[in-house]
């Protein structure tokens, strides 16, 4: 595949920072110096931009995205993979992109074509799923529009200008922060921000016109912190959560955990002026978690006709914070299984712990380490049972057509922990801090906050209708990196028949990666 790299380089050069792309295109992965908050350091970028381009497609499109790896910085990961967060990959498990589960990493100077249909709609994102790589910049928003959106009459504008991404930024490379308690230096909104005591660099601006309604696509692409998000003097009406259309629910503040997404309608009904967009993190260097001084943790909502100036608006005194239990699907209301706490066919009670001596997280006394041979390849090679699948003790086999309930405790150190399940949208039948079950119209999503209350727990349910291995993991990237994950091997005996037409290029990824690793040493 490397013989095509010169041609692909020319194609990738056509894309500018902040551009949109899709459903077909090229992701050109390179290293370059960036300064999103005024501090310059080396990063890993897509098509010369940090974050990467916004993918804008429609339900029913086929994504064909060629990922070309020309990463060369030894201080950052050189292998790569792309996970399409929230897309179910039904029948295309081999395109899910999780290294060690669904594929090997793409080696430097090689490429891989991700090719899959999209039958969902909503707000998603994509990111590297290799090591802690996306913390260095390989991430971006992915928007799937529904031409027949049942809530279309709620908004007037929904395009790339209304996408708002939240992330944190570190002044050191992600690899150097592994096995430490990483603390961010700044918050980035749409790839721009300021750090405490840093220069007054430009902030992101979201432009609106009085009298119009805007569907804001909010995407948390952080590696660690959650953000308390608000826009001064404006309410936000939630209409979609992670691809699930919900009954409209008005708030003015949203706590967003890493990996979570919302569509929130903003009505531009205020006096034309500039208003602060705020995203306060729960962790970071110094007083990053408690200040907005100097434009830290901020962006700008600018009305048409307002001066080109920074806002003087004040934060709402009363915060109407979104509660997960108030998110009710518009369709497909019932949770799978019987409407009782023990009404699932299979229940997994997960025990979380942390071993400070090894600096490892454990689930049921096992710390997840991505195997050299991806779980999917193990299954396709004949492994069927949990005791045959690696990593030992971290793979759980489940039959097809079952209702699975997963119970997760709330008080693990380093929390709150946002858990993401690949391959499924699940029902949150017991939310953090709620104290009760809801089987009749529970929230449905793919990332759930497990909370911090002593003795509490969170429960999710899903149907095993998508054969293949799917990872369940904490989306705080540094926690996944030290083991906070398991894999559900769903219907191993039907995985091959349910995931047909695996391309030859996928079969070549592991030999190419192994050749690179043998020549250069492990990419740790």
Report which of 68, 41, 266, 61 is spatially closest to residue 147, judged by C-alpha positions: 61
Q: Answer whether residue 409 is part of any domain.
A: yes
| CA 250 to chain CA centroid, nearest Å | 24
Tell me, yes or no, whether 165 and 268 share the same domain.
Answer: yes
Angle at 329 between CA 324 and CA 333, to 5 degrees: 115
Residues 440 and 484 in one domain: yes
* Final residue of a structural domain among 104, 121, 145: 145
- Indicate if the pLDDT at residue 86 is higher than 70: yes
Same domain, yes or no, for 435 and 466? yes
179 in a domain, yes or no? yes
Reported pTM: 0.95
* Peptide linkage before 391 cis (omega within 30 of 0): yes
Residue 123 lies in a domain: yes
Contact 280/196 with Cβ under 8 angstroms? Answer: no
Question: Residues 281, 357: one domain?
Answer: no
How many structural domains compose the chain?
Answer: 3
Residue 179 has pLDDT above 80, yes or no: no
CB 156 within 8 A of CB 180: no
Mean pLDDT, residues 71-84: 98
169 and 132 in a common domain: no
Q: Is the pLDDT of residue 16 over 70?
A: no
pLDDT of residue 325: 98
On whether both 200 and 315 belong to a single domain, the answer is yes
Confidence of residue 4 (pLDDT cuts 50, 70, 90): very low
180: domain range?
A: 160-322
Query: Do 43 and 107 fall into the same domain?
Result: yes
CATH number at residue 81: 2.60.40.420
The answer to whether residue 140 is domain-embedded is yes
pLDDT beyond 50 at 10: no
In a domain, 236, yes or no: yes
**pLDDT more than 90, % of the chain:** 94
Q: 288 with 184, same domain?
A: yes
Helix (H) or strand (E) holding 12: helix 5-12
- Residue 524 reports pLDDT greater than 90: no
Nearest-angstrom CA–CA distance, 74 and 304: 46
Residues 141 and 165 in one domain: no
Residue 1 lies in a domain: no
Let me know if residue 263 belongs to a domain. Answer: yes
Same domain flag for 304 and 180:
yes
Residues 135 and 86 in one domain: yes
The 10s digit of each residue's pLDDT in 383-395 is: 999 999 999 999 9
The answer to whether residue 518 is domain-embedded is: no
Residues 250 and 203 in one domain: yes
Per the CB < 8 A criterion, the answer to whether 457 and 407 are in contact is: yes
């Amino acid at each position: 595949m490397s013989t095509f790299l010169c041609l692909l380089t020319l194609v990738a050069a056509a894309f500018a920072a902040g551009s949109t792309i899709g459903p077909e295109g090229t992701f050109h992965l390179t290293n370059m110096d960036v300064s999103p908050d005024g501090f310059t350091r080396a990063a890993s970028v897509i098509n010369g931009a940090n974050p990467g381009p916004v993918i804008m497609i429609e339900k029913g499109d086929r994504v064909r995205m060629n990922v070309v790896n020309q990463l060369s910085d030894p201080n950052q990961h050189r292998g790569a993979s792309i996970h399409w967060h929230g897309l179910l990959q039904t029948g295309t498990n081999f395109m899910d992109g999780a290294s060690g589960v669904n594929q090997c990493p793409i080696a430097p100077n090689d490429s891989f074509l991700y090719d899959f249909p999209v039958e969902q709609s909503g707000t998603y994102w994509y990111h590297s799923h290799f090591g802690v790589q996306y913390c260095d910049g390989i991430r971006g928003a992915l928007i799937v529009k529904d031409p027949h959106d049942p809530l279309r009459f709620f908004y007037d504008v929904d395009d790339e200008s209304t996408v708002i991404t939240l992330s944190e930024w570190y002044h050191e490379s992600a690899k150097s922060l592994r096995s430490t308690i990483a603390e961010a230096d700044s918050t980035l909104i749409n790839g721009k921000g300021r750090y405490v005591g840093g220069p007054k660099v430009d902030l992101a601006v979201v432009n609106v016109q009085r009298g119009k309604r805007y569907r804001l696509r909010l995407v948390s692409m952080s590696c660690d912190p959650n953000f308390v998000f608000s826009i001064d003097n404006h309410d936000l009406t939630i209409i979609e959560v992670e691809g699930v259309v919900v009954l409209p629910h008005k708030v003015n503040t949203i706590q967003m955990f890493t990996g979570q997404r919302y569509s929130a309608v903003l009505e531009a009904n205020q006096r034309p002026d500039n208003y602060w967009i705020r995203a306060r993190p729960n962790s970071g260097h110094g007083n990053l978690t408690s200040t907005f001084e100097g434009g830290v943790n901020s962006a700008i909502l600018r009305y048409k006709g307002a001066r080109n100036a920074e806002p003087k608006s004040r934060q709402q005194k009363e915060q109407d914070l979104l509660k997960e239990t108030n998110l009710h699907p518009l369709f497909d209301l019932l949770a799978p299984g019987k409407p009782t706490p023990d009404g699932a066919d299979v229940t997994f009670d997960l025990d979380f712990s942390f071993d400070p001596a090894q600096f490892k997280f454990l689930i049921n006394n096992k710390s997840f380490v991505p195997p050299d041979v991806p779980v999917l390849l193990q299954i396709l090679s004949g492994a069927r049972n949990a005791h045959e699948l690696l990593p030992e003790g971290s793979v759980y086999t489940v039959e097809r057509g079952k209702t699975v309930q997963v119970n997760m405790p709330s008080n693990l150190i380093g929390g709150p922990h946002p858990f993401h399940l690949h391959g499924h949208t699940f029902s949150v039948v017991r939310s953090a801090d709620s104290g009760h079950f809801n089987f009749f119209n529970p929230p449905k999503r793919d990332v759930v906050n497990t909370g911090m209350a002593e003795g509490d727990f969170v429960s999710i349910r899903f149907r095993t209708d998508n054969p293949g291995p799917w990872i369940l993991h904490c989306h705080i990237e540094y926690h996944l990196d030290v083991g906070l994950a398991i894999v559900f091997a769903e219907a191993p005996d039907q995985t091959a028949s349910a995931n047909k037409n695996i391309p030859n290029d996928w079969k070549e990824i592991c030999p190419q990666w192994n050749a690179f690793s043998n020549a250069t040493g492990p990419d740790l």
